[in-house]
Amino acid sequence: MGTMTFGEAWGFGASFAEVKKMFELYVEAGGNFFDTACNYQGGAAETALGELTSQERDRFIFGTKYTMSTVPGDVNAWGNHKKNLRRSIEGSLRRLKTDYVDLLYVHLWDYTTPVPEVLSALDDLVHTGKVLHAAVSDAPAWIVAQANTWAEAHGRSPFAALQIEYNLLERSVEHELLPMARAFDLPVLAWSPLAFGVLSGKFHDGTLSSRRGEWANGYLGPRADAVVPVVIAVAKELGVSPAAVALAWLRGRAATIFPIVGARTPDQLRDNIGSLAVELSPEQRSRLDEVSVLAPTFPAKMWTNSLVVDGVLSGGTAPNLRGWEHPR
């Protein structure tokens, strides 16, 4: 369960009373993993989570993040470097009312701090027990591969999980990030599985044509206009919500992909949880795959050219040679 909506400091989200209801609903359904960050709702998300879990801390799994600025105007209060890592983890532990977090993510690669500094600093926290596992979010595949290769070579804690945006409207991660995760045996936590609500169908059902929030605007356009109607059609066939269909599609991509669901109301969360019971038929999944698929990029696109694969690569000796394909 994502906690970006735990608070109202950003002009959207839920009050503590509503957060408590969603927390109880999620836990009652068997949920125990919460995804948060040092900067969500100005720290209110971690504070709310700490209040709600303080009596049973070890029952729950916390994944929090550092990198983003928490003190505007302070050059030392953002980035992947050791100083920001130290101040961020101490603040998170205080707000979460705990002495350790299960996962600590590098929230965004800053292209400034060297890989060895980041990995060695995170490894120090693992050895102190304040962090059980290091993880990474929103970084390119080559950075993650470099980092985990360096960690293995130097006996340091590697990134144990990858968090990326993944949904029916954002499938470019299938080009490099998902194959990399599979190669390094990394579980994938998918944020924005509903594309900030666009895959719920609310912008395509005729009721919200004049409400296009800043977060959703990046997804609206020709691609959404092609994909979302198919999601809505499948939802009608199954008698469920479009959001449930989008989540079911994502869960079915691989056993190691875990959608991070987020909600502003208990009803939204209840619907998200209900997606666990949704089973897409092979035909329905194929329709969703086909309307949302992206063409491969270089160099993977070379494997779609039979002149390359069957000709100049294998000299006609391997007509059934298979290379890159979208992860299934």
CATH number at residue 145: 3.20.20.100
Q: Which of 2-16, 141-155, 201-215 shows the lowest per-residue confidence on average (mean pLDDT)? A: 201-215
CB atoms within 10 A of CB 24: 12
Are 268 and 324 in the same domain? no
48 part of a folded domain: yes
- Upper half-sphere CA count for residue 226 (Cβ side, 13 Å): 12
Q: Which sign, positive or negative, has the C-alpha torsion 105, 110, 115, 120?
A: negative
**Residue 323 banded pLDDT, cuts 50, 70, 90:** low
- The pLDDT of residue 322: 67
Of 40, 66, 105, 219, which one is the catalytic site residue?
40
Annotation marks residue 40 as catalytic: yes
Are 322 and 204 in the same domain? no
Q: What is the DSSP letter of 276?
A: G
Are 240 and 195 in the same domain? yes
* Mean pLDDT, residues 2-20 taken together: 95
Are 264 and 325 in the same domain? no
280 part of a folded domain: yes
Are 174 and 302 in the same domain? no
157 part of a folded domain: yes
Torsion, Cα 1 67 59 148, to 10 degrees, reads 100
80 touches 118 (CB < 8 A):
yes
Mean pLDDT estimate for the chain: 93
pLDDT in tens, 40-76: 999 999 999 999 999 999 999 999 999 999 888 999 9
**Residue 215 banded pLDDT, cuts 50, 70, 90:** low
Q: How much of the chain, in percent, has pLDDT values that exceed 90?
A: 82
Nearest-angstrom CA–CA distance, 52 and 109: 31
Are 87 and 160 in the same domain? yes
Are 133 and 105 in the same domain? yes
99 part of a folded domain: yes
Helices (H), 115-201: 115-128, 141-153, 177-183
**Residue 214 banded pLDDT, cuts 50, 70, 90:** low
Nearest-angstrom CA–CA distance, 323 and 328: 14
Are 54 and 189 in the same domain? yes
| Residue 208 confidence (pLDDT) above 80 | no
Q: What is the DSSP letter of 187?
A: -
Are 263 and 311 in the same domain? no
Are 49 and 112 in the same domain? yes
7 part of a folded domain: no
Number of domains in the chain: 2
Distances (CA, A) of 304 to 172, 300, 310: 17, 8, 10
| Residue 183 confidence (pLDDT) above 90 | yes
- The pLDDT of residue 245: 98
6 part of a folded domain: no
1 part of a folded domain: no
- The pLDDT of residue 210: 43
Question: Please, what is the end-to-end C-alpha distance for the chain in angstroms?
Answer: 24
- The pLDDT of residue 104: 98
- The pLDDT of residue 205: 72
Domain range for residue 325? 295-328
Are 289 and 299 in the same domain? no
Q: Is the pTM of this model over 0.85?
A: yes
**Residue 106 banded pLDDT, cuts 50, 70, 90:** very high
Are 169 and 299 in the same domain? no
- The pLDDT of residue 303: 81
77 touches 87 (CB < 8 A):
yes
* Mean pLDDT, residues 307-322 taken together: 76
4 part of a folded domain: no
* Mean pLDDT, residues 179-189 taken together: 97
